[in-house]
Amino acid sequence: MRKGFTTGSCAAAASKAAAYMLLSGKEKSAIEIETPAGVMFEAQIVDIQKNESYVSCAVIKDGGDDPDVTTGSHIVSKVSIVEDSFEKDMRSPLKVVIDGGIGVGRVTKPGLDQKVGNAAINHVPREMILKEVTEVCSFFDFNGILKVEISVPEGEELAKRTFNPRLGIEGGISILGTTGIVEPMSTKAILDTIRVELNQKKALGQTTAIVSPGNFGQQFMKDTFGYDLDMSVKCSNFIGETIDMVCEMGFEKMVLTGHIGKLIKVAGGIMNTHSHEADCRMEILACCAILANAEADIAKKILGCTNTEEALHIVEEAGMLKETMDIVLEKVLFYLNFRAQGKIQIECVIYSGDYGILAKSSGAKDLLM
């Protein structure tokens, strides 16, 4: 299936082109950037507007074969020179100010990638924009300050079809991406890929299937246990189907390693963790905290959180993080084993970005070492 490019890649490409046109005075109809994944992105530049103080242009988002609501939207970058005494000081380093305009959401609740008040342009897209614009400035020996404003004319309407309003991001979509590449999310394609990878591991003699929902889980295994990433399988959101395949192929054991944001859903018996399927993260975590003897006010605070990392801080401050996570792990293991129907031994490791390992079953470490 055809891959696409993230809104972050589009924003970086448009910003590079706008900066180039502003500082050179020449028009640019196409521009190339390198994504964090190392893949080159050649973007076509449209909607060019120029005057003495700024240049604005756009890249049309192409999500490839992924059913991405932002595909076809115009990711616009307006680059202007900031008239400030700072730019006259040639000894000072270059500064690039990045902000959001129309159709780019603004963060109103804590616990997200950006602080409250910031435009919802995540840190990797910001780094991409900074890198591309800085390179253009260096090429033209420009030592002043540039302001980059990212906007999406269709963004406010598109945001209604996302989780942004629920997360506390108001006024538009988010500018996202960690690799710069959009991987197609066809269900059949993903399940076929999981099956192929599991078959390969079995053919190589592995008796234990090491599974993680995503790249972060795989990297966590490497950083924490020194585990060879080539031996693990990424199951995306399809935890239930992956267990079925593992049992069918005759593996003896399985270890599931994942972030609390995904695995908390499994504690409620949810075997497809995609947000379009179900999102009871705070409800399940609040119930587990109550079972660990949390007071009602703690549960209410958890229910008001936008993500699990934020909720974990509340549980930790209440002094019952370990007790709560032990209950979460117990429930996760129950539903994993219920799906497997006793055909394999299943172990599990749950972690978070802020706290590291939150809970692990008794045999998990031995299978990962």
Say what percent of the chain tops pLDDT 90. 69
Kindly give the residue spans of alpha helices, DSSP state H, lying in the chain: 7-24, 123-139, 155-159, 164-167, 187-203, 215-225, 239-248, 260-266, 281-291, 296-303, 308-317, 321-340, 364-368
SS3 58: strand
- Residues 227-262 have pLDDT tens digits of 666 778 889 899 999 999 999 999 999 999 999 999
Cα–Cα distance for residue pair 286/309, rounded to 1 Å: 13
Average pLDDT over residues 127-142: 96
Q: Are strands 74-82 and 145-151 parallel, antiparallel or unpaired?
A: antiparallel
Model confidence band, residue 218 (pLDDT cutoffs 50, 70, 90): low
- Give the residue from 332, 367, 344, 363 showing the smallest Cα distance to 248: 344
pLDDT of the residue at 151: 98
Q: 63 falls in which pLDDT band (50, 70, 90)?
A: confident
Span 88-116, mean pLDDT? 81
The model's pLDDT over 67-97, given as tens digits with 9 standing for 90+, comes to 788 999 999 999 999 986 544 444 445 689 9
Contact in structure between 106 and 100 (CB atoms under 8 Å)? yes
Q: Which helix (H) or strand (E) holds 6?
A: none
Q: Are 30 and 45 in contact (CB under 8 A)?
A: yes
Predicted pLDDT at 111: 72
Alpha-carbon distance of 248 to 113, in angstroms, equals: 39
Region 114-122 average pLDDT: 94
SS3 of 191-257: the string is HHHHHHHHHHHHHCCCCEEEEECCHHHHHHHHHHHCCCHHHEEECCCEHHHHHHHHHHCCCCEEEEE
DSSP reduced 3-state for 288: helix
Strands 253-259 and 345-352, sheet pairing: parallel
Entry pTM? 0.63
